[in-house]
Structure 1
Amino acid sequence: MSGNSTEWWRNSVIYQIYPRSFCDANGDGIGDLPGITQKLDYVKSLGVDAIWISPFFKSPMVDFGYDVADYRDVDPIFGRLQDFDQLIEAAHARGLKIIIDQILSHTSDRHPWFEESRASRDNPKADWYVWQDPKDDGNPPNNWVSVFGGGSWRWCTRRRQYYLANFLKEQPDLNVHNPEVQEQLLADMKFWLDRGVDGFRLDAVNFIFHQQALNDNPARPLKLDEKGLPPVNHYDYQWHKNDKSQPENLVFLQRVRKLLDQYPGTVTVGEVGDDNTHKIMAEYTTDQRLHMAYSFDLLTEDCSAPFLRETLEKNRAVIEKGWPCWSISNHDVPRSITRWNRGFSPALAHKRTPLFLLMQLTLRGSVCVYQGEELGLAEADIAFEDLVDPYGINLWPEFKGRDGCRTPMPWTNTSADNAGFTTGKPWLPVSEEHQNLAVNLQEDSQYSMLNQFRALIEWHRHLPNSLATAQQEVIDTDNDLMVFVRHTEKERLLVVLNLGATEEVFSLPEAFVGAEDITPNLFAKEHSGSTLVLPPAGACVLQSIP
């Protein structure tokens, strides 16, 4: 299903590649850009439209590339600028778009900008980062806390001031209120646009600006867990009213959009993490700002029908002409086959995984799929001594971090070459369970997860073009069925998904009695007259012409 060719990104399927873990071409144990180029035929075979590549910029790798030390160069572990140019050329030759990560809210503390900024209070880049004097008693300026644990303010002995770091202490926040910083960030984006990228995934896009008054964040009522304990991460103890999602962000995003409009066909997708994500997504995805955005709403543990109905209705109520990009898994959260199947048997979990993709493909919006989801990879179990993610190390053992979803891609079922990932020692252990789901084992099996994924993408591609921007209405069934309608003046699509563990019966709306059944043949159902019977993990898609 595709819309206007000038807006290829609507209803597109974007495949996220975490380069450290995709394919290692030089045998140093870390995936690289030439490795991605080697596997482009595989990516093309999936039927996706675009690739989003997580950061490959020069970096000390404290946060594995999200701490940028040079926005215009490739880190040597990933290759050279020439390797990126070759990747772009090879991808475009196969009809694949390339989207790269861009981090606009912070840099590495080893970036030359920060090294100059912290040297004194009166150098040319003194105001390029967020600096503030301590309170009279020496404490930080306010109560803001870091996403990764601890306070957001870090003391600098050279300037005798605090600097803001919303993530790790090695990731100081840029002062984007400074016009010079804005100009520099836009120039760095232009550098990659001129090299042929098709767009940007903007990391933590609502963190770009902070409130200049630096008011305290208000306390948030604590949500206790099943043991009656408060959240592990004290970031959840506040409403983040002042440290992100500021109105100045809207103006700056208009400048970003104006830049991209100079390169027809390019796109932005923003990552939005906020207490009110749907409102922020609606504000950010307009004709003058971002093309699309995704939130963490579908990256949570809950995938029950009531939760999904509520989430989709909240989104529909506010987003209007804006555009969501639905993501249920990425490099920051446990893999969906684990996260969304807790309490289900392994056999049913296996059947449910294609159901999640069918939901993504039929919702109003675009789709982002994380590498390995097409293989049905579960979250890998990583021992503490093998952890490298500072987020997990800081909050262990209650939170194990993000390494379990970042383990190497299994290309083969052989241990000698670490499942075809590298001839060296892999930066994270290769999961033995993942080797049993390797690409080479799934290629020739018609009903393997890999080929089910391909079949669903191909099915999606042949849906009517008019449905690309169709409106969406969720039907409340008060059970484990997830039901929604996509509709235009010319066509209607009814999607019914059984997310529960028992059989469910659904009475069809009158408009869909006798409608054409276009359900992918991967899903079980009984359809007779106005009655639909779905087993667990069953689904039905009906198309009606008013």
Structure 2
Amino acid sequence: MESNVLTKKWWHDAVVYQIYPRSFCDANNDGMGDIAGIISKLDYLQQLGINIIWLSPVYKSPMDDNGYDISDYQDIAAEFGTLAEMENLIAEAKKRDIRIVMDLVVNHTSDEHPWFIEAKKSKDNPYRDYYIWRQPQADGSVPNDFHSYFGGSGWEFDAATGEYYFHQFSKRQPDLNWENPKVQEEVHKMMNWWLDKGIGGFRMDVIDLIGKEVDKKVMANGANLHPLLQAMNKATFGDRDVLTVGEAWSATPEIAKLYSNPARDELSMVFQFEHITIGWHPQNGKWEPQPFDLIKLKKVFTKWQTELSDSGWNSLFWDNHDLPRAVSKYGDPGKYRVESAKMLATALHFLKGTPYIYQGEEIGMTNVRFDSIDDYQDIESLNLYYERTAAGVPHEQMMEGIYENGRDNARTPMQWNSDVNAGFSTARPWLKVNPNYTGINVQAALNDPDSVFFHYQKLIKLRKELPIMTYGQYIPLLDDHPDVFAYLRAQDDQRILVINNFSAKKIALPLPAEIQGIQGKCLISNYQPHQDLAETITLQPYESFAIAYTQPAA
């Protein structure tokens, strides 16, 4: 079997660690995580073995959407620190062979950005066309019925100029007008300013929305999207050896190839979310979660692994700052928390693509169930809770949706130890700590050689040592098994067999003929290592393992 002919890139065998700064580590004890706190934990991340940090936004912001509403792209929010500290973080990370990937939020700005403050002054202000404005309809109503993703209309009236401005998210996040070449020039200039500081690239927030066609109500994948990205590539990162990943909720494999095929000069890869959205209600979305279906999940993984095998690149992730904790979503946060957290790690990290770890995932942090809606901070959860309960959705139903899929599940403070506030801060944290921090924390994980942390550390090390994990072909097995996700990675005569039990049951598993009787080396396991495979094997609850072997000549 031929090896993949992709041109090798430094980020192909890298592992990315996402930091949500306000929840990671609070060095000055004001209840809010900060850049100094991140610097203090770089040795911990070096020990884990990651080589990229994706940093959620630390730019100056009024924090209407926790920093995804930027008022100055070239300054740092005071609660996170200073520009000098940011430069120090880049330098200290580099000493540990870790690159910083910045979060690029350019679909919209804050309404406190100087461009928008100017734009509101008059219809003929030079910055007016940096944003999207429309006249009211004849009856004074909104230009069209587009509904914001955070609830309510996507149009906000500006009394001073008598026009509506457009926003896909909060009304305090006005959308930029990417049809204006000056907007493109300003963004490109800002990106180069950061690249010149030595960052390792950009994660691009909702980048599939910048080509929007507002009057047609086409938001994702507008006609100009890919020309805009190609222009961005040419003007900024195209000739630099950096990682670029676009958040693209609308991506299909065909669209993902447009972004990530190297011949097209766009991005390194995209985040697609099909494996996430299959668990949502077709109409009511994530607030009405559907029962977990492993067969559906496997089909999605197999589709993406197969479609992007030769032209493009996959990003691999279970969770991020917008998603619930993986062990609560797909595993067992109770009795089998450790086993299922390790299983999920193994299932993901042996796939082809670049894996992303979200802070706390490496110690098996879980979702949280706060007693009151008042304990939540997330603007999306709060807006939609009040909107939907006012429309008659029962309180209990909305709370169950928030418990399962609300964004604050991922944003509770990082659990460092069993001290007050999980060692995150001595002050009251901006968001309450998950009460289970006394048992689930970094200190406990580092003191236990069999912890989830060391399982992740081993997976990261294996990826760097075994090119087959990066470049080998993906071959699915046992497609129709309702509880087991199994696959092969293949490169020349080398094979890795990966088997994952996604259930709390013991399973007697008849193996496909082609892998019966193989003898190999167990690379990793969350129970006793398997070495030789009979016709049928017994899997323990949430058991998973990977075996490397050589395929005999035909």
- TM-score of the pair, normalised by structure 1: 0.89
Alignment counterpart, residue 393 of structure 1, candidates 382, 389, 398: 382
Match of 2:463 in 1: 460
142, 145, 158: which one pairs with 1:143?
145
User: Per-residue displacement from partner, 1:310-367 (whole Å, max 9, x unpaired)?
Assistant: 10233245434111111111111221111223xx572234311111111111111111
Q: How high is the sequence identity, in percent, across the aligned residues?
A: 33
* Correspondence for 2:416: 411
Query: Amino acid of the residue matched to residue 509 of structure 2?
Result: V
In structure 2, distance between residues paired with 1:207 and 1:10: 26
1:537 to 515, 537, 542: 542
Structure 2: gaps spanning 5 or more residues: 280-290, 386-394
Match of 1:505 in 2: 509
- The one-letter code matched in structure 2 to 1:537 is Y
SS at match of 1:540: strand
1:324 — aligned with what?
Answer: 314
Query: Are 1:284 and 2:259 an aligned pair?
Result: yes
Deviates more, 1:40-49 or 1:128-137: 128-137
| Mapping of residues 284-363 of structure 1, within 5 Å | 284-287=259-262, 288-300=265-277, 301=279, 304-319=293-308, 320-341=310-331, 344=332, 346-363=334-351
CA apart distance, 1:260: 4.8
**Match in the other structure for 1:227:** none
Give yes or no for contact 1:193–1:263 (8 Å, CA) kept in 2.
no
Q: Give, in whole Å, the separation in 2 of the partners of 1:528 and 1:316.
A: 26
| AA aligned opposite 1:252 | L
2:245 aligns with one of 263, 269, 273 = 269
Q: Distance in 1 between matches of 2:341 and 2:5?
A: 26
Give the whole-Å Cα distance in 2 for the aligned partners of 1:466 and 1:414. Answer: 42
- TM-fit CA distance, 1:403: 1.9
- Structure 2: how far apart are the matches of 1:114 and 1:388? 26
Which amino acid in structure 1 is aligned with residue 43 of structure 2? D
Q: Distance in 2 between matches of 1:120 and 1:425?
A: 43
Residue in 2 that maps onto 1:222: none
- Distance across 1 between alignment mates of 2:476 and 2:129: 48
Q: Is the 8 A contact 2:48 2:456 kept in 1?
A: yes
Distance, in Å, in 1 between the alignment partners of 2:48 and 2:493 is: 30
Deviation sequence 1:77-106 (CA, Å, 0-9, x none): 111110011101100001111111000100
**TM-score between both structures, scaled by the size of structure 2:** 0.87
8 Å contact 2:494–2:550 — kept in the other structure? yes
State the one-letter code of the partner of 1:59: S
| 1:514 is the counterpart of 2:518 | yes
Counterparts in 2 of 1:170 and 1:115: CA distance versus 1, 3 Å: same
TM-superposed deviation, 1:198: 0.4
Cα distance in 2 between the residues matched to 1:387 and 1:127: 36
> Who is 2:285 aligned against?
none
CA distance in 1 between partners of 2:522 and 2:477 (Å): 20
Aligned counterparts of 1:513 and 1:352: Cα–Cα separation in 2: 27
In structure 2, C-alpha distance between the alignment counterparts of 1:440 and 1:373, rounded to whole Å = 14
Q: Is the 8 A contact 1:325 1:365 kept in 2?
A: yes
**Structure 1 position 511, deviation (Å):** 6.1
Q: For each residue in 1:435-490, what CA deviation from the matched residue of structure 2 results, as whole angstroms up to 9, or x when unmatched?
A: 32121222111112222322332233322x24422222323442122122222334
For residues 540 and 410 of structure 1, what CA distance do their matches in structure 2 show? 27
Relative to structure 1, the CA distance from residue 348 to residue 11 in structure 2 (aligned partners, 3 Å threshold; closer, same or farther) is same
Q: How far apart, in 2, do the equivalents of 1:410 and 1:368 lie?
A: 19
SS at match of 2:85: helix
Matched length: 513
Residues 207 and 247 of structure 2 are in contact (CA less than 8 Å); yes or no, is this contact kept in structure 1?
Answer: yes
Match of 1:7 in 2: 9
Q: Say if 1:104 and 1:513 are closer, same or farther in 2 by CA, change over 3 A.
A: farther
Aligned-residue RMSD, C-alpha: 2.3
Structure 1 residue 48, shift from structure 2 partner: 1.1
Q: 1:50 to 1:512 in 2, by over 3 A?
A: farther
Where does residue 234 of structure 2 map in the other structure?
258
Distance in 2 separating the partners of 1:452 and 1:141? 54
TM superposition shift of 1:138: 2.2
User: Which shows bigger deviation, 329-338 or 55-64?
Assistant: 329-338
135, 139, 159: which one pairs with 1:157? 159
Rate the CA distance shift 1:259–1:7 in 2: closer, same or farther, 3 A: farther
Q: What is the match of residue 446 of structure 1? A: 449
Shift in Å, 1:171: 0.4
The letter for the 1-side match of 2:443 is: N
Deviation at 1:373?
Answer: 0.8
Q: 1:118 to 1:265 in 2, by over 3 A?
A: same
- Asked if 2 retains the 8 angstrom alpha-carbon contact of 1:284 and 1:290, the reply is yes
Distance across 1 between alignment mates of 2:5 and 2:51? 13
| Structure 1 equivalent of residue 287 of structure 2 | none
- Partner AA of 1:409 in structure 2: M
Unaligned runs of 5+ in 1: 217-241
